[in-house]
Amino acid sequence: MDFYIMTLFPDMVMEGLNTSITGRAVSKGLLSVEAVNIRDYAFNKHNSVDDYPYGGGAGMLMQAEPVYQCYQAVKERIRSKRHKVAPDGAGNPGGQKKPRVVYLSPQGQTFHQSMAEEFAKEEELILLCGHYEGIDERVLEEIVTDYVSIGDYVLTGGELPAMVMVDAIARLVPGVLHNDVSAEFESFQENLLEYPQYSRPEVWHEKRVPEVLLSGHHANVEKWRREQSVIRTAKNRPDLLEKALLTEAEILLAESVKEENIEE
Ligand code: ADE
């Protein structure tokens, strides 16, 4: 999967994403991450890309034209890469497909795991990072396909949200995690939080690893983990339980945890 990040701070993005698991996936050729500097498409001698908003108001806006030219350059890169992969278009059904362009903004839809799963099906993703007070609406209307926020708070720019998105999506790309199963059984899978985990030693600070995990009894381990997930979700994220598929016994367990929570 190829990520293109349109930004005024390419170093910030590349330094973050070239390390750890995403960095390793890039080295292995499972992903590519390219930060494209919007400033390279400035059209004045000062290389500036911002201007005052019509109608007045605080701060500056990113202008439409540099963003548009940057987008055209990214689109061209995608086109030539697709062409290299399948020069005659054969076996390349995405050949004509317009890449999705995500604008990171607090005004977007809130990012969540199923959105990451949906984006992970794309061959390419373009992420557009705003700065200052935002971007001229007209270019957004022309190029953006998805508006995404990473939460109800305002950051100084879209770079950190773009990195969050790349990280969450990249780990779903086959081969990126050592163990693909670990992307399956984790927080938000089936709308339950992940169960607690333990490693050696068996006793640490006088706390023992739960006996069932040492038993070697696979079915009991699974049962215990599932219960722990229900308990943890009921305690920390009861809102998620409404969407989770629970057995009668699990519903009762969740109810008792919620009641305990109220009493505490
Ligand atoms: N840009 C500034 N704040 C943001 C947020 N919360 N999510 C996405 N992009 C942003």
pLDDT digits (tens, 9 = 90+) for 97-109: 899 999 999 999 9
- Our answer on whether the CB atom of 149 is closer than 6 Å to any ligand 1 atom is yes
The reported pLDDT for the residue numbered 187 is 63
User: Where does 189-263 sit in CATH, by number?
Assistant: 1.10.1270.20
Residue ranges in the chain modelled with pLDDT below 50: none
- Our answer on whether the CB atom of 134 is closer than 6 Å to any ligand 1 atom is no
Cα-based distances in Å from 102 to 6, 24, 79, 98, 140:
10, 24, 18, 13, 10
Residue 7 CA, ligand 1 centroid: distance in Å = 14
Residue 105 CA, ligand 1 centroid: distance in Å = 4
Q: Give CA–CA dist 86/63, Å, rounded.
A: 35
The reported pLDDT for the residue numbered 89 is 61
- CA of 148, closest atom in ligand 1: 8
Indicate where the chain has its CATH 3.40.1280.10 domain(s).
2-170
Q: Omega into 99 within 30° of 0, i.e. cis?
A: no
User: Where does 2-170 sit in CATH, by number?
Assistant: 3.40.1280.10
Indicate where the chain has its CATH 1.10.1270.20 domain(s).
189-263
The reported pLDDT for the residue numbered 186 is 63
The reported pLDDT for the residue numbered 6 is 98
Q: Give CA–CA dist 234/201, Å, rounded.
A: 29
Contact assessment for residue 213 and residue 223, using Cβ atoms and an 8 Å cutoff: no
The reported pLDDT for the residue numbered 13 is 97
The reported pLDDT for the residue numbered 183 is 56
- Our answer on whether the CB atom of 151 is closer than 6 Å to any ligand 1 atom is yes
Q: Give CA–CA dist 167/16, Å, rounded.
A: 10
pLDDT, tens digit, 9 for 90 and up, residues 139-191: 999 999 999 999 999 999 999 999 999 999 999 999 999 865 555 556 677 89
